[in-house]
């Protein structure tokens, strides 16, 4: 049986002020459930919540929260809120 290589620890994230404001505005607008969850994930990670606590609060899985956080760190808020290319 092959062992999975351990993933590096998620570094956490701090939203830029303009991204934080953009997420606040988007949270007040009508959004799909998937987009709303991603907005909330980014906000909770910005507040310093753990991946597990964030996943439990929004009803998602830890890998999904990690992916959203990593996409924000790599490419910004707009990319993190959208589905990845298939």
Query: pLDDT digit string (tens) for 42-62?
Result: 999 999 999 999 999 999 999
Confidence band for 85, pLDDT divided at 50, 70 and 90: confident
Alpha carbon 83 to chain centroid, angstroms: 12
Q: Within 10 Å of residue 10's Cβ, how many Cβ atoms?
A: 15
Rounded Cα gap, residues 60 and 64, in angstroms? 7
Token pair, residue 69, equals: 């956080």
DSSP letter at 86 equals -
Phi, psi of 37 (to 5 degrees): -60, -40
Rounded Cα gap, residues 9 and 69, in angstroms? 12
Confidence band for 7, pLDDT divided at 50, 70 and 90: low
């Amino acid at each position: 049986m092959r062992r999975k290589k351990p993933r590096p620890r998620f570094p956490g994230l701090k939203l830029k002020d303009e991204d934080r404001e953009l997420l606040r505005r988007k949270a007040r607008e009508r959004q799909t459930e998937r987009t709303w969850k991603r907005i909330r994930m980014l906000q909770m990670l910005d507040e310093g919540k753990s991946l597990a606590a964030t996943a439990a609060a929004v009803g998602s899985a830890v890998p999904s929260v990690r992916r959203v956080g990593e996409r924000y760190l790599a490419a910004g808020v707009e990319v993190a809120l959208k589905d990845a290319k298939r």
